[in-house]
Amino acid sequence: MKAEEDEEEGVQLSDFSLLIIDECHHTQKGAVYNNIMIRYIQQKKRNKRLQKLQEPVVPLPQILGLTASPGVGGAKDSKKAEEHILKICANMDSRIKTVQTHIKQLENQVKLPYKKVEIAEDNAKSPFGDKIKEMMKDIETFSDLYPQNDHGSQSYEQWVVQKEKTAAKEGNRRQHVCALHLKKYNDALQLYDTIRMNDALAHLVKFYNDEKKRALMLNESDGAALSDKIDETDRFLTELFYKCKKDLEQLAENEEYENEKLTRLRRSIMEEFTRNNKARGIVFTKTRQSAAALCQWIDDNEKFREVGIRAHYIIGAGANSDYTAMTQNEQKKVLQKFKTGELNLLIATSVAEEGLDIKECNIVISYGLIHNEIAMMQARGRARADESTLVLVASRSSGAIDHDSVNVYREGLMHKAIQRVQAMNPTIYAEKIQEFQKQTIIERKVKKKKDLQKVYQKNPAKVTFWCKKCQSHVCCGLDIRVIEDMHHVVPNPKFKKLYKKGENKTLQEKFADYQTNGEIICKNCGRTWGTIMVHRGSELPCLKICNFVIRYEDEKMTKDTLDVWRDLPIKFPAFTYLPDDSDDDY
């Protein structure tokens, strides 16, 4: 079913008699659930008009939405919390129902876990982190980039990513490359705040090793001396890292400055698994890389093995991260092993908070990870075993205790708002629901109109793609074709002259009827452009739009950088094996 299309082609809503929407708190804004329900509501309104005309109506399914945590949408007071609940009811076209008559029986059956908070004191001294910050300041001075945010913070990451995009659009290679490196250093600081110093250092070592391999590969491709391929910026950044690498290695070996949160985490895990040799647990952490590193930390620790801990990480299947994603099959295998007891501890990102079938746990640990009241309730819901424990491990400076208190307050707001909505006068309730539904439909029509305007205003022939790093011309919109409405490929044979094939990092992971078969790398500067895709026996270069500067041939010669293809207001034709104009010269 095409959830965003008005035309009901293929599978239609009328083909169903019952539609069950799990985790229905996601029925908001542009989410898939909401797009489906907007179609439902629009057809329901059409049916009313047909009834008045005494014409046949289109049968619609019953709707059942399930959630344990509708949340309050960031509301700070009871009025806004009530409005949030009403909007979900409007989007679901349903009344909200909760257990009331047998509430005591439910509470006896589903007991809340014991909650414990482990606060780690911040290290008075942090020579490893200070060294990385010192290196970052050297890079900022060299590139004339002066942040207003603290190194290692989320706000710094947002700032440096924006600087990288701006520099690419302006053709400022020095700032663009330095911003890329600063992002890696900021990642290392965040890793240092989460896991071991060695893990943070390994992140930087891997990055610079990869940079060195790219430089050598480019050198081999055209026979030029390596020194000719490296400019002042590359030389400065490389020399800075390798000059400081030995100091970082020595600092990383000093256990005096190791992360105290790891000590607290170790204690929480050991207490549970020592007390209960049949225990199962989940540790929630923020990033994919920290999940893998924490799993490695557990594998490296003999004491964990002595109490029978068998751990594995589980991360998302999406490709919107520097760290390799898990396929859905890989996720299923890990969860099956957890279900049978072959594994008894999962190290997970937020992917495991909801939507996955995970056996009840004896202990659930949020490791420096505090989101909103919904995520808190979802994580708590994983601790369903008898006498289970919910643990929050965080540093004192993180504000995690205050954030947790806010979530508890918002959970209370949510329950009160639900009670008020349930007790609302039916007439007033119906009026509010209709008002929110009309507002949603109007907003969707306005958005759709703007999207269509963008599509028709932009001619694919007048859109060109340029390498983000060296600003060389890569292709134009006419060269691009799409496979399965998602993979953007360039079938033009002349395009092969612009790139080299990189090593196969993903080990040819297979998906459906295609597979990734290595990277495509700019021959001029070594920037990764995307992957080689094998589709029904044909090798095709598949581009990632985040690696390019997009130029529009308009009055202002606009430049832009985008993270995903759907943000580009152009629809490209589907890939076919028939000859077309893609072989023309650029």
Report if residue 6 sits inside a domain. no
Of 110 and 101, more confident: 101
- 147-160 tens-digit pLDDT: 989 999 889 999 99
Residue 6 has pLDDT above 70, yes or no: no
pLDDT band at 323 (very low <50, low <70, confident <90, very high): low
Structural domains in the chain (count): 4
| Residue 187 and residue 94 in one domain | no
Average pLDDT over residues 554-579: 80
| Residue 27 and residue 153 in one domain | no
Residue 39 has pLDDT above 80, yes or no: yes
- 61-107 tens-digit pLDDT: 999 999 988 999 888 899 999 999 999 999 999 999 998 888 888 77
| Residue 266 and residue 332 in one domain | yes
| Residue 290 and residue 190 in one domain | no
Report if residue 7 sits inside a domain. no
Average pLDDT over residues 429-434: 94
Report if residue 291 sits inside a domain. yes
| Residue 186 and residue 244 in one domain | yes
- 157-168 tens-digit pLDDT: 999 999 999 999
The pTM of this model reads 0.74
Report if residue 118 sits inside a domain. no
DSSP state of 280: -
| Residue 394 and residue 282 in one domain | yes
Domain of residue 342, CATH code: 3.40.50.300
Of 249 and 445, more confident: 249
| Residue 82 and residue 140 in one domain | no
| Residue 210 and residue 136 in one domain | yes
Q: Residues 83, 85, 86, 87: is their CA dihedral positive or negative?
A: positive
Q: In sequence order, what are the residues at sequence separation of 6 or more whose Cβ sits closer than 8 angstroms to the Cβ of residue 13?
A: 1, 19, 36, 39, 40, 43, 58, 60, 61
Report if residue 505 sits inside a domain. yes
- Which of 230, 257, 284 is the last residue in one of the domains? 257
| Residue 252 and residue 263 in one domain | no
Residue 280 is encoded by which pair of tokens?
Answer: 């199962």
What is the pairing mode between strands 463-467 and 389-395? unpaired
Residue 480 is encoded by which pair of tokens?
Answer: 């691009």
- 256-306 tens-digit pLDDT: 888 889 999 999 999 999 999 899 999 998 888 889 999 999 999 999 999
Compute the distance between CA of residue 173 and CA of residue 178 in angstroms, rounded to an integer: 8
Determine contact, residues 191/205, Cβ cutoff 8 Å.
Answer: no
Report if residue 289 sits inside a domain. yes
Report if residue 483 sits inside a domain. yes
Domain of residue 501, CATH code: 2.170.150.30
DSSP state of 541: E
| Residue 292 and residue 390 in one domain | yes
Average pLDDT over residues 459-485: 91
Of 137 and 378, more confident: 137
Question: For position 287, what pLDDT does the model report?
Answer: 84
Q: Which domain holds residue 392?
A: 259-401
| Residue 391 and residue 468 in one domain | no
Domain of residue 237, CATH code: 1.20.1320.30
Question: For position 264, what pLDDT does the model report?
Answer: 92
Report if residue 3 sits inside a domain. no
Compute the distance between CA of residue 193 and CA of residue 177 in angstroms, rounded to an integer: 25
- 389-415 tens-digit pLDDT: 889 898 888 777 788 888 889 989 999
Question: For position 455, what pLDDT does the model report?
Answer: 62
User: Looking at 410-562, which runs of residues are DSSP E strands?
Assistant: 463-467, 473-476, 481-483, 487-489, 499-501, 510-511, 514-522, 528-535, 538-543, 548-552, 559-560
| Residue 250 and residue 268 in one domain | no
Tell me the sheet residues that pair with 413.
Answer: none
The most confident of the ranges 386-400, 427-441, 505-519, 558-572 is 427-441
Question: For position 585, what pLDDT does the model report?
Answer: 41
Question: For position 80, what pLDDT does the model report?
Answer: 94
The chain-wide mean pLDDT, for the chain, equals 86
